[in-house]
């Protein structure tokens, strides 16, 4: 009983900041609620969910969002592993570099979205790689901006996992004749497994809510409809709060399924 007294305030705060908003969203999603006619609100059951789940536009937006999530997460993990290995070797520079690698993540997401949108659609990247200002070039800009913003925090997480690998263990493996691939696959990655899982799940779910980049691109005329952008336009352009709430709930369920899928996929086991 004494333990519950300490846990009660934290549980109360958790209920206020999570359960109440989610419950409110679910209740709103079961009604036809528009800001243009707030007095005409009525309970309609699961009609909003039916409209969302049978919409080709919605599932196309989910597909675009998943493409961004998968590409951004994989690239960030690869870059983060490379940077973490380099930073572990350069221990004298770590106090300075840990600030530098986190600088992109500390900037406002809207700032990085503007920078990379302009770079890929009309700036140096468009000229170097001959990208057009249409949907493909804008999609590349949005994805690159997300990679640039999140690679630093991934590097820090992976570096924390890399420090769990004792140098003596690495030296012993090398002395036993382990190749570079065996060293990575049988020693380093299994020890870093929890850190890799945390970094991948965190960045995947964070990228899944991407809004700033697609919103800026959409305003510029190049349409990249992600699921969060559809929720935004439904709520703040069409003012259909009931339908927007249903989209939010479905998006939350998809994000939960995505996180549940990542957990078994990221279990790194020792290869015998």
Residue 259 falls inside a structural domain: yes
- How many separate domains does the chain show? 1
Residue 171: which domain range? 57-265
Each residue's pLDDT tens digit, 82-92: 888 888 777 66
CATH number of the domain at 239, please: 1.10.3720.10
What whole-number distance in Å separates Cα of residue 119 and Cα of residue 116?
A: 5
Please check the confidence at residue 176 and state whether its pLDDT lies above 60: yes
Question: How many Å from the N-terminal Cα to the C-terminal Cα in the chain?
Answer: 47
Residue 52 falls inside a structural domain: no
Residue 215: its pLDDT value, please? 78
Residue 272: its pLDDT value, please? 37
Q: Which of 239, 242, 208, 244 is nearest to 226 (CA)?
A: 208
What is the per-residue DSSP string for 209-242?
A: T--HHHHHHHHTT-----HHHHHHHHHHTS-BHH
Residue 246 falls inside a structural domain: yes
Each residue's pLDDT tens digit, 54-71: 999 999 999 989 998 999
Residue 109 falls inside a structural domain: yes
Residue 271: its pLDDT value, please? 39
Residue 133 falls inside a structural domain: yes
Residue 272 falls inside a structural domain: no
Residue 97 falls inside a structural domain: yes
Residue 8 falls inside a structural domain: no
Count H helices and E strands in the chain, helices first: 14, 2
H or E segment at 9?
helix 2-14
Give, in degrees to the nearest 5, the angle at Cα 246 between 229 and 70. Answer: 45
């Amino acid at each position: 009983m004494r333990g519950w007294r300490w846990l009660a305030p934290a549980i109360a705060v958790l209920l206020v900041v999570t359960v109440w908003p989610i419950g409110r969203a679910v209740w709103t999603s079961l009604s036809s609620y528009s800001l243009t006619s707030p007095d005409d609100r009525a309970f309609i059951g699961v009609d909003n969910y039916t409209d969302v789940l049978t919409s080709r536009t919605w599932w196309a937006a989910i597909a675009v969002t998943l493409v961004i999530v998968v590409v951004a997460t994989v690239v960030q993990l690869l870059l983060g592993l490379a940077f973490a290995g380099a930073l572990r070797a350069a221990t004298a520079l770590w106090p300075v570099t840990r600030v530098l690698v986190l600088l992109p993540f500390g900037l406002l997401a809207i700032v990085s979205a503007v920078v990379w949108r302009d770079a890929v659609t009309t700036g140096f990247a468009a000229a170097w790689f001959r990208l057009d200002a249409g949907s493909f070039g804008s999609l590349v800009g949005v994805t690159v901006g997300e990679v640039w913003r999140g690679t630093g925090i991934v590097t820090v997480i992976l570096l924390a996992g890399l420090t769990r690998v004792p140098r003596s263990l690495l030296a012993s493996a090398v002395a036993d004749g382990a190749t570079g691939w065996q060293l990575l696959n049988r020693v380093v990655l299994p020890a870093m497994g929890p850190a890799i899982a945390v970094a991948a799940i965190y960045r995947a779910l964070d990228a899944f809510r991407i809004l700033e980049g697609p919103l800026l691109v959409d305003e510029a005329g190049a349409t990249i409809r992600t699921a969060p952008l559809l929720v935004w336009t439904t709520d703040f352009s069409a003012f259909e709060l009931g339908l927007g709430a249903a989209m939010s709930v479905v998006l939350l369920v998809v994000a939960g399924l995505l996180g549940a899928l990542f957990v078994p996929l990221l279990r790194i086991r020792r290869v015998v």
